[in-house]
Chain A
Amino acid sequence: MTAEPILTISGLNVDYGTGPTGVHALRDVDLTLHRGEVLGLAGESGSGKSTLAYAVTRLLSPPGVITGGDVHYHRPGAGPVDILSLSPDALRAFRWQELSIVFQGAMNSLNPVHTVHSQLTDVLKAHRPAMRSAERTARAEELLTLVGISRDRLTAYPHQLSGGMRQRVMIAMALALEPEIVIMDEPTTALDVVMQRQILRQLVRLREQLSFSVVFITHDISLLIEFSDRIAIMYGGRIVEQAGASEIYRDPRHPYSEGLLHSFPALHGPRRELTGIPGTPPHLSAMPAGCAFHPRCGKAHDPCADQIPVLARPEAGQDREVACWLHTRPA
């Protein structure tokens, strides 16, 4: 990857709750999204992948607290902006204009009492105050057409749309201001398989058309291998491995990545044996010492139980990182 970075996350820490009852949800997360790239974020539920997505724009609901780190947005042709230090007004202006989100479960993402029209245009009203009402409507129609919905659905209420249509409306909404970054949080999980494929194909097409960068979050790693350029794998609130999609597929270095790959059938290519990962992910309030994965890891050895591995390049010169004592020597 030689492209310039557009979003850099460094040392991000997030807690749920403060004081003695608080638990650590994200620990020292470093991640870079490059311009025009699709970055996949994979992990089991509770691994912190959604927490990471929402923390970036400070959307975590109470009792979430960002306790450390930086998130920098590199505006094209301008210096980096520290998102975590923005004032509420500046943050509002940043949101959706530069970074939009397609939320998990479009069922509840649309407000049941407002029409599609009003939910598509209020974002224009907020960010493009100079736009006239007719222009906003025209833009909303254009957006619906873009995602393959007929423009007469503009006056519909969410309950009058099917699940797939609602998710398309959410995608149209996310593209309304042509943002630089779109975060997609399990955008197709709630849909049936046929609809998933359709929407993914549409996303690929839209991305080629509008060239935004994507952070794609899912627990379905086989989906990511097909769809993304680079993949970061999370476990227990940390990134345990990140590399190009094909490298992860061919040669996963972290035992957890390997386990994940063997938990889902590949969409294309030769069949593999599905083995899954023994045990269940740890609870945030009871994180094992050392490498969080070691109790479930078949390859756990001496340092794993009491020393936390750091993300590092397994071999010099390679553009991939892994946090595992199989690949780095303990200090």
Chain B
Amino acid sequence: MSVITTDVTAPADVPAPAAPGRARLRFLRGGKTRTGLLILAFFAVLAVAGPWLAPYDPDAMSDDLLQAPSAAHWFGTTHTGQDVLSQILVGTRGVLVVGFLAGFLATVLSVLIGVTSGFLGGAADEALSMLSNIFLVIPGLPLIIIIASFVEDTTDLLIAAVIALTSWAWGSRILRAQTLSLRRRDYVEAARATGESTWRIILFEIMPNLTAVIASGFVGTVIFAILSEITLAFIGVADISHWNWGTVLFWAQSNQALAQGAWWWFVPAGLCIALLGTALTLINFGIDEFVNPRLRSSAGGSRKVRMRVGFTPVARTGTPGKPSKEQSE
């Protein structure tokens, strides 16, 4: 669950101001981003069509108790003969809805608090960044567990809101730093000097340059939200009558699927989580490389010359064998 930590250290490089629209979409061209978006699209289709695609009613019991995967039950069955594939298909929607809802809510919070804090400065900034730092170090999951278990009936919306409430701080801190550095830029100073209103400056001068950071924060929060939500379902805090991948794992765990060697009961759900998480992380890599070009892997197309820090490769034309020697180093 440490996916998010990779981005914490994102340097304060801000993409060049007023990048043309096409450049802004350039990150879509990267292989990583494209793979990520493809996988995400696959799950999005499942989220919409899952209940129709599901071959069985996920709650329906049958006589095929604890069957290994077969043509009739691709992912096998549970101890009461329920079809695991159907449970996963039907559960996809809950996972994505809560994940994206929480990501959206947390992003709105982090933009409001982070940008305001960075732009206003002074005492307001001190207070707001104190607030986000506090939320940053208080461990989120135990807090989510406690809040969720105090509530009688846990709806998807409530779970999403609780997750959002505990996960906005990370994005807020990065946005604040970015806003601070943007605020000192000449063109923002110029807009201020000509008497543009604060809100116009924030909306038209600052926000467009924060898109990449906001997007990356959103994706990061969605990853966190999905993991938290599945965890809540797995330990039985969330509503277990509502299918999602965590619920599948909850039933598997509480019915000794492990001890009975029923791997098909818990492996598919976990793989789906990992696949979805990987997809989102890949999208975030794409955004990171867009923001910080130093991270881009090989610059040129050629793999013949190996770049090495501090030792510029010498690839003299007419001296065969040289490039390959460099590579084998």
Chain A partners chain B: yes
Query: Which residue of chain A has the shortest Cβ distance to B310 in the bound complex?
Result: A59
Q: Does B194 contact A (CB under 8 A)?
A: no
Chain B residue with the shortest CB-CB distance to A20: B301
Determine which residue in B301, B313, B315, B318 has the highest number of CB atoms from chain A within 10 A of its CB, and name it.
B313
A84 pairs with B314, CB closer than 8 A:
yes
Tell whether A278 is near chain B: CB-to-CB under 8 Å.
no
Distance in Å: Cβ of B288 to nearest Cβ of chain A: 18
- Which chain A residues have a beta carbon within 8 Å of chain B's beta carbons? 17-22, 54-55, 58-69, 84-85, 88, 91
Contact partner, B313, options A66, A68, A91, Cβ 8 Å: A66
B320 shortest CB reach to chain A, Å: 14
The residue that A69 contacts in the complex, of B300, B304, B312, B316, with Cβ under 8 A, is: B316
A20 to B301, CA, bound (A): 8
Q: Are A66 and B316 interface neighbours, CB within 8 A?
A: yes
Residues of A within 8 A of B308 (CB): 62
**Residue B260, interface by CB 8 Å:** no
Contact residues of A: prevailing secondary structure:
mixed
Q: How far is the CB of A55 from chain B (nearest CB, A)?
A: 7
Q: How far is the CA of A17 from the CA of B301 in the complex (A)?
A: 8
Instruction: Give how many B residues have a beta carbon under 8 Å from the other chain's beta carbons.
Output: 18
Q: How far is the CA of A209 from the CA of B2 in the complex (A)?
A: 58
Would A60 and B312 count as touching, CB distance under 8 A? yes
Please, what's the 1-or-0 string for B292-329, where 1 marks a CB less than 8 Å from any CB in chain A? 00000001111011011111111111100000000000
10 pairs across A/B with beta carbons < 8 Å? A18-B302, A18-B305, A19-B301, A19-B302, A58-B312, A66-B313, A66-B314, A66-B316, A67-B317, A68-B318
Q: With A63-B299, A91-B311 known to touch, is A18 a contact of B316 (CB < 8 Å)? A: no
| A242 CB to nearest B CB, Å | 24
CB distance from B316 to the nearest CB of A (A): 5
Please give, as numbers and ranges, the residues of chain B lying within 8 Å of A18 by CB-CB distance. Answer: 300-302, 304-305, 315
Seed contacts A62-B309, A66-B314; 14 additional CB < 8 Å A-B pairs: A17-B299, A18-B304, A19-B302, A20-B301, A21-B301, A54-B312, A58-B311, A59-B312, A60-B312, A61-B309, A65-B314, A68-B317, A68-B318, A88-B311
Given contacts A18-B304, A18-B305, A63-B307, contact A58 B299 (CB under 8 A): no
What is the minimal beta-carbon distance from A278 to any residue of chain B, in angstroms?
26
B→A interface (CB under 8 Å) = 299-302, 304-305, 307-318
Give complex CA distance A88, B310 in Å. 10
CB < 8 Å neighbour of A63 from B300, B317, B318: B300
Q: Is B301's CB under 8 angstroms from A65's CB?
A: no
> How far does the Cβ of A32 sit from chain B's closest Cβ, in whole Å?
20
Which among A17, A21, A65, A68 is the interface contact of B312 at CB below 8 angstroms? A65
Chain B residues, CB < 8 A from A19: 300-302
Query: What's the minimum C-beta distance from B325 to chain A, rounded to whole angstroms?
Result: 11
Chain B residues with Cβ below 8 Å from A59 are 310, 312
Q: Which residues of B contact A55 (CB under 8 A)?
A: 312
The CA-CA distance from A286 to B313 in the complex, in Å, is 24
Q: Which residues of B lie under 8 Å from residue A88 when comparing CB positions? A: 311
Task: Name the A residues within 8 Å of B315 (CB-CB).
Answer: 18, 65-67
CA distance A54 to B300 in the complex (A): 20
The residue that A58 contacts in the complex, of B300, B301, B314, with Cβ under 8 A, is B314
Minimal beta-carbon separation of B173 from chain A (angstroms): 22
Q: In whole angstroms, how far apart are the Cα atoms of A67 and B318 in the complex?
A: 10
Cα distance, A60 to B315, chains bound together (Å):
13
Q: Tell me the bound Cα distance from A90 to B1 in angstroms.
A: 46
Residues of B within 8 A of A84 (CB): 314, 316
CB-CB under 8 A from B314, the residues of chain A are 58, 65-66, 84-85
CA distance A62 to B305 in the complex (A): 10
Query: Complex Cα distance A84/B319, Å?
Result: 12
Chain B residues whose CB sits within 8 angstroms of the CB of A54 once the complex forms:
312
Give CA–CA (A18, B326) in the complex, Å.
15
B2 to chain A: closest CB distance in Å? 25
Q: Which residues of A contact B305 (CB under 8 A)?
A: 18, 65
CB distance from A22 to the nearest CB of B (A): 6
A65 to B309, CA, bound (A): 12
Most interface-central of B311, B312, B313 (chain A CB within 10 A): B312
Q: Nearest chain-B residue to A60 (Cβ)? A: B312
